[in-house]
């Protein structure tokens, strides 16, 4: 039996700027389940209804998850949507670079944390991070993206470090909470695409 796209699926895909003619078997298999309606509402809320994030910031955070999860259709869509909200090419490029750097750091520092041997703790990583010095998006938002990617990748040490840093750069806990809510919902969405 071939699943068909419900109005909810079509609406969700359209709102995300995704091609409605492409098959999304996992998403379509939900039919018109309550979860699908919840997902559509959750995605809409995290991208459009944050009190402590601008729409552009929400879309750039969503972009970081799409890049991290290597889901090109959403990477393209969130890039376009963020640019419609005023994101520059330099800001988009910085989110891509930040996501790549944090994916690297998350693996390295998660290993250090898991093993916790003196040699690994004392040896310099040798990973260049010059992008962190003068980010186009500003230190606070760069740290917020770093925190968000670290949360998606499950690096406890990185999450703690970036949460502390983003607060020191002026973010509120409410802003951090909303950022994590954005990336959580987008990560969940991607599992069905």
Alpha helix (H) ranges present in the chain? 7-15, 25-28, 34-48, 55-68, 72-84, 89-115, 118-122, 139-153, 156-168, 173-190
Active site residue: 158, 166, 176, 182, which one?
A: 158
On whether the CB atoms of residues 192 and 69 are closer than 8 A, the answer is no
Distances (CA, A) of 114 to 12, 103, 107, 124, 164: 39, 16, 11, 17, 21
Distances (CA, A) of 13 to 17, 31, 98, 190: 6, 14, 27, 12
98 catalytic residue (yes or no)? no
158 catalytic residue (yes or no)? yes
Query: At residue 18, what are phi and psi to the nearest 5 degrees?
Result: -95, 155
Contacts of 187 (CB under 8 A, 6+ apart): 65, 69, 152
Contacts of 41 (CB under 8 A, 6+ apart): none
Active site residue: 155, 180, 183, 186, which one?
A: 155
On whether the CB atoms of residues 164 and 151 are closer than 8 A, the answer is no
List active site positions: 155, 158
């Amino acid at each position: 039996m071939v699943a068909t796209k419900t109005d909810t699926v079509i609406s969700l895909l359209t709102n995300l700027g995704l091609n409605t003619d492409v098959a999304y078997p996992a998403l379509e298999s939900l039919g018109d389940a309550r979860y699908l309606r919840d997902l559509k509402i959750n995605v809409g809320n995290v991208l459009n209804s944050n009190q402590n994030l601008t729409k552009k910031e929400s879309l750039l955070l969503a972009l970081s998850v799409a890049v991290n999860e290597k889901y090109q259709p959403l990477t393209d869509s969130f890039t376009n949507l963020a640019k419609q909200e005023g994101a520059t090419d330099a800001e988009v490029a910085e989110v891509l670079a930040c996501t790549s750097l944090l994916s690297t750091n998350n693996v390295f520092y998660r290993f250090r944390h898991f093993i916790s041997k003196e040699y690994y703790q004392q040896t310099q990583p040798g990973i260049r991070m010059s992008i962190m010095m003068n980010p186009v998006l500003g230190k606070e938002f760069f740290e917020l993206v770093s925190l968000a990617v670290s949360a998606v990748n499950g690096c406890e040490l990185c999450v703690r470090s970036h949460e502390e840093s983003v607060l020191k750069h002026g973010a509120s806990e409410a802003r951090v909470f909303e950022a994590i809510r954005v990336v959580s919902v987008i990560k969940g969405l991607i599992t069905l695409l």
